[in-house]
Chains A and B, each alone.
Chain A
Amino acid sequence: MLSDKTIEEVEALKRRYPDPRGAILPSLYIAQREFGWLSPEAFEAVSIVLGVPKAHLRGVASFYAMYRHKPVGRHLIQLCTNVSCMIFGAEDLVSLLKNRYGAEVGGTSPDGRFSLVIMECIGACEAAPAMLVNEDFHNNLTENNITEILEKYK
């Protein structure tokens, strides 16, 4: 179930739209933040607050790419491998993450700590390679400092 604070947040969103269906995307995003992914419980919880059938919620969510339909690790690494980052060795970082943490691209490390996703340009080419860990931005990555950065995320 959603926490009271989250329910309030969703209720506030709902009030902003003439039809509660308008609030589906942000509400699901909030639920995803709380549950980590869009589990059946997450859909159910949002469905109760918004009063929109859960099958409909799932139908909508399945279209968009930024919802997670499978459980993910505690932290989500989104690493850019677009041209600039690739030139500066992003591919090596990918294999490093795989060797060190066991996180495959699109998968989760066996200890459930990191999920790794490859993303396209995040507009940080001047300081490539760059990545997002959850919502924190990190750039000028090297094989040395990336492990240091990731050690902060337990």
Chain B
Amino acid sequence: MITITINNKEIRLERPVTVLEAAKANGIKIPHFCHHGILEQWGGCRMCLVEVEKMPRLQTACTLFVTDGMVVMTESETISNARRSVLEFILINHPLDCPVCDKAGECKLQDYVMQYGPTAGRFKEPKIRHPEGLNDPLIVRNQERCIMCTRCVRMCSGIQGASAIAVTNRGNHSSMEPFSGERFDCEYCGNCLTVCPVGAIMSRLHRYSYRSWQVTDEIQTVCPFCGVGCTMIAQVRDNALMRVVPKLGLGSNKGLLCNRGRFGYEYVGSGERLKNPLIKKNGKLQPASWEEALDTVASRLKDIKNSSGGNAIAGIAGARCTNEDNYAFQKLIRGLGSNNIDSIARMGFAGGQRIFEGMLGPGVTSTPLSGIADSDAVLVVGGDPSEVNPVLGVHIRMAFKKGAKVITIGHAPGLGRHRTAGLLPHPQADGVVMGGLISAILKDKKSLPGGNRPLEEKITVMHLPSADDAAAACKLSAEDIGRLAKQLAGASSVSIVVGREAGGNKDTAMLVSVLSYILNARIYLMSERPNEQGLVDMGCLPDMLPGGRPLAEEGLRKKCGASWGIDIPADEGLTLMEMIQAASSGGIKAMYVMGENPAFNLPDTKNTEEALRRLDFLVVQDIFMTETARMADVVLPALSWIEKDGTYTNAERKIQRLKKAISITGMEDWKIVAEVGKRIGLKMPYGKAADIMKEIARVSPLHAGLTYADIEGGDNLWPYKGEPHKNWFSFPELSADAFTSPAEEGLCLMLEKPLFHSGTLSRKSPALNSISPEAVLRLSPATASGLNLKDGDFAKVSTEKGSLSLKVKIDRGIDGPAAFVSNNFEGRGLFSLTGYRLDPVTKSPLTEGRQISIEKE
């Protein structure tokens, strides 16, 4: 126990911290610029000077650790004089343009000058000028205002791990610059913006559009871009979204954001938003009244149900929609007598989770994000977390900085500088490497842990390849595999981060479970959309009811049906890709799509589009005119994330509140669904989102008794206050070819998950488009030079399915013979080039036909 005295107040401390932290914890404010809670200490701004008894000079509180019996004064005349001098120095070159500076009002320099500041400076020399850095589309640098606290540089290199900015021209002319000196060449996470205490580095999106005190409302909500579910604060002025900011220490993201979350919000105010319902008349979509549109939807669905039966109707739920929306939606589809309900979670998330839960027990993916940074080893398989879930990626980088072993299997350029080793087998041979790793670890560990009998039996009959065989099969070094296995086996706390591609493949998913079991590792399932977990929990699956209750169990089904006043059909419905196949063969006649764009986001675009065209009746409910909406018979405009109340469940299985910040005319997704439901005779008496939550809490045993107050109060971690479904262990069989690497050689087409985009919403965001405006073909320098291609050339990429003309971008982060194409830009998506096959267990579409030829144009 350490006892110190600050300002005559006795403070007891458990462990030695800095004077600044001790003071802060006890409500004593010490002014500071360069200190920041999540950054390493620097002690460079000299603002936090304090007097310490028996010490000859003033000390910096942010770097001075407390010792027993220390007596500190944080305010005195000497200190004020010192601080005033520091401020006078800082202001020598400061332009004093507070009247036009966007930071004014929340600027630390302004506050401290008001508190301590000199009323006049004594320097008469001309100020050093730096022209404002306006060459970047998103970030504006004003180096005249910079006080050289280096918070941004420490954030960029220490936390984000991008190291994209540095102090250049050290000395009188110091300035914080990105490499090019003008435009940023970075991940655009914008975390430097968060930490800048003055107006030296700011967002260009809301530049000069408002002052901090004009914000009328600050609403805490959740980011709408990926499954990490970062907490953010939406600042609103006069019913318009001005900007979103994170808050230090708040939410799983702890005050970090990525480029999509920070700069992507502008789609809300896009002029392309749908405003009126549209009905197709004479082959053209024409504006209609809500009444007419809703009546049409209800009557056509009823007709099709009566003529072809409920099974001719299918629904695709939305991973961008809230739990409430999705709950109401699956109730509507089931109310129509169909279990044909699925969503984009089928692309890897839902299937992977099912296998993990089946093999390891319920809730295995409910792992708090903070655990990654505390791991000794992190294994990444099936995706690049720094691009899919950037904030999760940052946690991995933090773990690496702390000394954890980070191992990636497959392409993960975002972790290029933050990993111990990267194994790069053929994209379809992740399983072989994992098999080799498992057998090497088992050899090392000698015995199985012995907790899960059925799983252990399974492992013994798995015919795992030895490390040598695995290495030979995928042309890696056996030594590497052995060494990495030792590192994994030796770590006491292991995290396994699993991407969509590994989750969708049952073999890889099973091997991940085995690895997780023998290493006692936590599993983190990457989630590309904000509410994929919510889709699973709300029963937007063809074989599951809300709360993760299997449809097959009659008692549960009857109970659920009784509370909705309907008979839920007993047969399992079709999964996502099966629905598309059924649509093309005529088995499905009507489809209701909510907040999803299957015509673009599903593999084999051409056939999917063809299948959707064959439908008798297609309803699309979205906020933009998507590729799918263009084909629809009725288009219903919904509200965006910031315009509605509700909840999202993130990849940690944490349920979080979404709050309405601005109101516009229109209907929330759940309201539209309820209106349709009422017209076909379903009981959907919802007045507000909370009414649906009440019903969820009644119907879903997992969410039993859960209210918005609980969620906001922090009672939001799986399994909430409810009961998870137990006793449903299931162990699928490994495929016969699980441990063989495809023999094919040559260039392999890969799906790029771009950092700057994530599908339908991001491409309507002007800011994200300005940093990533078009689809590109990413090649490694070696591949490009082999094909005689340069940066900016156009190349024709062809597969069996078709061809695309794309601009070449040479990317040094790519290893091996791989060509990366994203699936984000209209008409230029990778899915128009590839086919798929369905995984027999997870039913996820696995990309096929990766062989490509590239020609220069």
> Within 8 Å of chain B (Cβ to Cβ): is A110?
no
Let me know if A63 is at the binding interface, CB within 8 A: yes
CA distance A54 to B186 in the complex (A): 12
- B157 lies within 8 A of A56 (CB): yes
Q: Which of B122-177 contact A (CB under 8 A)?
A: 157, 162-171, 177
Bound CA–CA A17/B417 (angstroms): 19
**B170 adjacent to A54 (CB under 8 Å):** no
Interface of A, secondary structure class, is: helix
Give per-residue flags for A49-61: 1 if the beta carbon is below 8 A from chain B beta carbons, else 0: 0010111101110
Residue of B whose beta carbon sits closest to that of A62: B168
Q: Which residues of B contact A51 (CB under 8 A)?
A: 417
Interface core residue of B163, B166, B170, B812 (most chain A CB under 10 Å): B166
A51 to B181, CA, bound (A): 20
Verify B166–A55 contact, CB threshold 8 A.
yes
CA of A53 to CA of B417 in the docked complex: distance in angstroms?
9
Chain B CB within 8 A of A83 CB: no
- CB neighbours of A53 from chain B (8 A): 157, 162-164, 166, 417
Q: Is there an interface contact between A62 and B170, defined as CB atoms closer than 8 Å?
A: yes
* Chain B residues whose C-beta falls within 8 Å of the C-beta of A37 in the assembled complex: none
Q: Is the CB of A55 within 8 A of B177?
A: yes
0/1 string, B176-205, CB within 8 A of A gives 1: 011111000000000000000000000000
Contacting pair B170 A59 (CB below 8 A): yes
For B169, the chain A residues whose CB sits under 8 A away are 62-63
Contacts of A59 in B (CB 8 A): 166-168, 170, 177
A77-B575 Cα distance, complex, nearest whole Å: 75
Using Cβ atoms and an 8 Å threshold, which residues of chain A touch B157? Answer: 53, 56
CA distance A58 to B175 in the complex (A): 12
Contact A58 B179 (CB under 8 A): yes
> Shortest beta-carbon distance, B422 to chain A, in Å?
14
Distance of B539 from chain A, by nearest CB (Å): 47
Q: Are B168 and A58 in contact (CB under 8 A)?
A: yes
A43 at the interface (CB under 8 A from B): yes
Contact residues in B for A62 (Cβ distance below 8 Å): 168-170
A63-B171 in contact (CB<8A): yes
Distance, CA A53 to CA B169, complexed state (A):
17
B residues near A60, Cβ cutoff 8 Å? 166
Flag whether A48 is at the interface (Cβ < 8 A). yes
Residues of B within 8 A of A48 (CB): 812
Given A48-B812, A56-B157, also A40-B167 (CB < 8 A): no
Query: Cα distance A62–B171 when bound, in Å?
Result: 10
Shortest beta-carbon distance from B811 to chain A in Å: 13
Q: Are B417 and A40 in contact (CB under 8 A)?
A: no
A6 to chain B, nearest CB (A): 17
A55/B164 in contact, CB under 8 A: yes
- The CA-CA distance from A60 to B163 in the complex, in Å, is 13
Nearest A residue to B178 by beta-carbon distance?
A55
Interface string of A24-65 (1 = CB under 8 A from B): 000000000000000010010000100101111011101100
> In the bound complex, what is the Cα–Cα distance between A130 and B116 (angstroms)?
56
With A51-B417, A55-B164 already in contact, the answer to whether A40 and B180 are too (CB < 8 A) is yes
Could you tell me the distance between the alpha carbons of A56 and B186 in the complex, rounded to whole angstroms? 13
Nearest Cβ on chain A to B176's Cβ, whole angstroms? 9
| B192 nearest CB across to chain A (Å) | 12
Q: In the bound complex, how far is the Cα of B153 from the Cα of A56, in angstroms? A: 10
Nearest neighbor of A60 in chain B, beta-carbon distance:
B166
Closest chain-A Cβ to B167's Cβ sits at a distance in Å of: 5
Within 557-589 of B, Cβ neighbours of A (below 8 Å) are at none
Instruction: Tell me the smallest distance from the CB of B187 to a CB of chain A, in Å.
Output: 12
Rounded to whole Å, the gap between the CB of B810 and the closest CB of chain A is 12
Residue in chain B with minimal CB distance to A1: B781
- CA of A48 to CA of B417, assembled, Å: 10
Which chain A residues border B171 with CB–CB below 8 Å? 63
Note all chain B residues with C-beta closer than 8 A to A63: 169-171
**Across the interface, which residues of B come within 8 angstroms of A40, CB to CB?**
179-180
Q: Please give me the residue from chain A that is nearest to B781 by CB atom.
A: A1
A87 to chain B, nearest CB (A): 33
Name the A residues within 8 Å of B167 (CB-CB): 59
Q: How far is the CA of A53 from the CA of B178 in the complex (A)?
A: 11
Of all chain A residues, which has the CB nearest B181?
A58
Q: How far is the CA of A81 from the CA of B139 in the complex (A)?
A: 45
Contact residues in A for B179 (Cβ distance below 8 Å) = 40, 43, 54-55, 58
Output the nearest chain B residue to A47 by Cβ-Cβ distance.
Answer: B179
Minimum distance in angstroms from B417 CB to a CB of chain A: 7
Bound-state Cα–Cα, A53 to B163, Å: 6
Q: How far, in angstroms, from A148 to B166 measured CA to CA in the complex? A: 45
Pairwise interchain contact B170-A55, C-beta atoms closer than 8 A: no
Contact indicator A58/B166 (Cβ below 8 Å) = yes
With A and B bound together, what is the CA distance between A59 and B176 in angstroms? Answer: 9
Bound state CA distance, A40 and B181, in angstroms?
Answer: 11
Inter-chain contacts of B178 with A (CB < 8 A): 55
Q: How far is the CA of A63 from the CA of B417 in the complex (A)?
A: 25
* B163 proximity list for chain A (CB < 8 A): 53, 55-56
Residues of A within 8 A of B170 (CB): 59, 62-63
- Chain A residues lying within 8 Å of B162, measured Cβ to Cβ, are 53
- Taken together as a complex, chains A and B put the C-alpha atoms of A48 and B180 apart, in Å, by 17
Residues in B with CB closer than 8 Å to A43 are 179
Q: How far is the CB of A64 from chain B (nearest CB, A)?
A: 10
Q: What is the distance, in angstroms, from B163's C-beta to the closest C-beta of chain A? A: 3
Question: For residue B171, which residue of chain A has the nearest CB?
Answer: A63
Within 8 A of B (CB), among A59-84: 59-60, 62-63
CA distance A112 to B527 in the complex (A): 56
Give A9 Cβ to nearest chain B Cβ, in Å: 21
Closest chain B CB from A53 CB (angstroms): 3
| Contact partners of A56 in chain B: CB under 8 A | 157, 163, 166
| Residues in A whose Cβ lies below 8 Å from that of B180 | 40
**B417: nearest chain-A partner, CB-CB:** A51
Q: In the complex, what residues of A have CB within 8 A of residue B177's CB?
A: 55, 58-59
CB within 8 Å of A: which B422-450 residues: none
- Known contacts A40-B180, A43-B179, A62-B170: does B812 contact A55 (CB below 8 Å)? no
Cβ of A50 to closest chain B Cβ, rounded Å: 12
B165 touches A55 (CB 8 A): yes
User: Which of A40, A43, A58 neighbours the largest number of chain B CB atoms within 10 Å of its CB?
Assistant: A58
**B162 (CB) vs chain A CBs: closest residue:** A53
Interface centre among B157, B165, B168, B177 (most CB of A within 10 A): B168
> Complex: how many Å from CA A12 to CA B167?
28
**Complex: A60 Cα to B167 Cα, angstroms:** 8
Bound-state Cα–Cα, A58 to B165, Å: 10
What CA separation (Å) do A58 and B181 show in the bound complex?
Answer: 9
A58–B177 Cα distance when bound, in Å, is: 9
Q: How far is the CA of A60 from the CA of B179 in the complex (A)?
A: 12
Q: How far is the CB of A32 from chain B (nearest CB, A)?
A: 17
Q: Which 8 A-B pairs have the closest CB atoms?
A: A59-B166, A53-B163, A62-B168, A55-B179, A55-B166, A63-B170, A62-B169, A59-B168
Provide a sorted-by-A list of 8 A–B residue pairs whose CB atoms are within 8 angstroms.
Answer: A40-B179, A53-B162, A53-B164, A53-B166, A56-B157, A56-B166, A60-B166, A62-B170
Task: List A residues at the B interface (Cβ < 8 Å).
Answer: 40, 43, 48, 51, 53-56, 58-60, 62-63
Interface residues in chain B, defined as those with a beta carbon under 8 Å from any beta carbon in chain A: 157, 162-171, 177-181, 417, 812
Known: A59-B166, A63-B170. 4 other contacts (CB 8 A): A51-B417, A55-B165, A58-B166, A63-B169
